[in-house]
């Protein structure tokens, strides 16, 4: 830690969910922050705190019809797979308070991260990465398309930013942003995800057409194979595309024993993964935005904090 100035590492106490699903650490974001402070990597006063996304900014990525549908608890019940929300006695505000408020803060964090990355060369949102959300339809615990909205906002406000690379290393296919940018050649997508055909969510074959480097991973892929594939993906991408900005979905559901992600990556492998992505961005001098994505085990916060610590050691972030 060099000084007490704010750094583009972004978090808000409202990121924590009130509801824990699938054994998920509902305080993953706060716990990463806590570890980074306790380890002396980032000072408590150095974190940036985002405002929730405004209704106006929601329109940068969603149709009016979709925005209206989020006010209905049945939509939320479907996205978050919470059957009890559908029940008549569960008031609508419960869904708004438990799900939409946290997610509006996560999305505000990704918007702030986009702006900060252009200033500092990097930004980390300890949340966001709702990569199954798209303009008109969402699923898989993702309600607001923070990545697409941020890209649309950044390109609107910064005409020199045209070419965007999305590196989606969550264990699931990022079909939300892929659908949103399906016909946009100025977005280049690298997506590594578990592939078991129809047996693994989301298996969105339309969205797959958008992926430039489409790495369908066998279940339980280990570190060595994964990291070789990642390095070779960047070698190929360097020949094919010159990004003005990179969005990195750093899902931790690739970690071994994650029953949702079905991969076998160790903590060491995940830390190396993040380092390879940041090295690519810094080496090419391209601003990078890192967002969380999925990750469903109780140990994730510790490993993510260790990875950010490694990024600091490699690239002097703080
Ligand atoms: Zn995932």
Report every protein residue that has its C-beta within 5 angstroms of ion ligand 1: 170-172, 251, 253, 294
**DSSP assignments along 89-109, one per residue:** TS-HHHHIIIIIHHHHHHHHH
Q: How far apart are the first and last CA of the chain?
A: 5
- In a structure prediction context, what are the per-residue pLDDT tens digits for the chain, which is 318 residues long? 445 799 999 999 999 987 666 667 889 999 999 999 999 999 999 999 999 999 999 999 999 999 999 888 788 777 777 766 666 666 777 777 778 889 999 999 999 999 999 999 999 999 999 999 999 988 888 999 999 999 999 999 999 999 999 999 999 999 999 999 999 999 999 999 999 999 999 999 999 999 999 999 999 999 999 999 999 999 999 999 999 999 999 999 999 999 999 999 999 999 999 999 999 999 999 999 999 999 988 999 999 999 999 999 999 999
How many domains is the chain built from?
A: 1
Ligand 1 center from residue 193 Cα (angstroms): 8
Rounded-to-integer distance, Cα 91 and Cα 76, Å: 12
Ligand 1 center from residue 131 Cα (angstroms): 8
Is residue 298 situated within a structural domain? yes
Where residue 140 falls (left for φ over 0; alpha for ψ -120 to 50; beta otherwise) is left
Is residue 224 situated within a structural domain? yes
Ligand 1 center from residue 171 Cα (angstroms): 5
Ligand 1 center from residue 166 Cα (angstroms): 15
| CATH number for 97 | 3.40.800.20
Q: Which residue has the tokens 């992505």?
A: 277
Ligand 1 center from residue 172 Cα (angstroms): 4
Q: Could you tell me the residue range of the domain that residue 294 belongs to?
A: 9-315
| Residue of 12, 131, 132, 172 marked catalytic | 132
Is residue 3 situated within a structural domain? no
At 49, list the tokens. 């705190």
Is residue 70 situated within a structural domain? yes
Q: What residues are paired with 247 via a beta bridge?
A: 166, 289
Q: Which residues contact 298 (CB under 8 A, 6 or more apart)?
A: 23, 25
Strand ranges in the chain using DSSP code E only, listed in sequence order = 9-10, 122-125, 164-168, 187-194, 213-217, 245-249, 288-291
Is residue 84 situated within a structural domain? yes
- Assess whether 177 carries a catalytic annotation: no
Is residue 22 situated within a structural domain? yes
Q: State pTM to two decimals.
A: 0.95
34 to 31, 251, 304, 307: CA distances (angstroms): 5, 19, 12, 14
Ligand 1 center from residue 37 Cα (angstroms): 27
Ligand 1 center from residue 47 Cα (angstroms): 25
Cβ–Cβ under 8 Å, residues 159 and 183: no
Is residue 1 situated within a structural domain? no
Is residue 17 situated within a structural domain? yes
């Amino acid at each position: 830690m060099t000084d007490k100035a704010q750094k583009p590492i972004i978090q808000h106490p409202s990121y924590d969910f009130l509801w824990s699903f699938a054994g998920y650490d509902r305080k993953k974001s706060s716990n990463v922050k806590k570890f980074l402070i306790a380890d002396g990597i980032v000072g408590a006063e150095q974190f940036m705190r985002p405002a929730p996304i405004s209704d106006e900014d929601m329109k940068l990525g969603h149709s009016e019809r979709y925005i209206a549908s989020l006010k209905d608890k049945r939509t939320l019940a479907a996205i978050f797979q919470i059957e009890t929300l559908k029940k008549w006695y569960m008031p609508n505000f419960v869904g708004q308070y438990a799900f939409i408020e946290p997610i509006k803060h996560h999305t505000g964090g990704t918007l702030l991260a986009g702006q900060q990355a252009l200033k500092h060369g990097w930004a980390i949102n300890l949340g966001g990465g709702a990569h199954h959300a798209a303009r008109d339809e969402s699923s898989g615990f993702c309600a607001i398309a923070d990545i697409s909205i941020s890209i649309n906002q950044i390109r609107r406000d910064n005409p020199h930013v045209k070419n965007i690379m999305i590196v989606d290393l969550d264990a699931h296919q990022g079909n939300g942003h892929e659908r949103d940018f399906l016909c946009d050649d100025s977005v280049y997508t690298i997506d590594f995800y578990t592939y078991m055909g129809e047996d693994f969510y989301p298996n969105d074959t339309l969205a797959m057409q958008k992926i430039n480097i489409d790495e369908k991973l066998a279940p339980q892929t280990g570190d060595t194979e994964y990291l070789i594939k990642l390095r070779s993906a960047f070698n190929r991408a360097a020949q094919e595309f010159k990004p003005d900005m990179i969005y990195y979905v750093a899902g931790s559901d690739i970690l071994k024993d994650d029953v949702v992600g079905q991969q076998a990556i160790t903590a060491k492998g995940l830390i190396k993964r993040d380092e390879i992505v940041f090295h690519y961005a810094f080496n090419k001098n391209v601003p990078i935005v890192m967002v969380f994505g999925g990750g469903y085990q109780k140990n994730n916060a510790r490993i993510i904090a260790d990875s950010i610590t490694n990024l600091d050691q490699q690239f002097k972030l703080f």
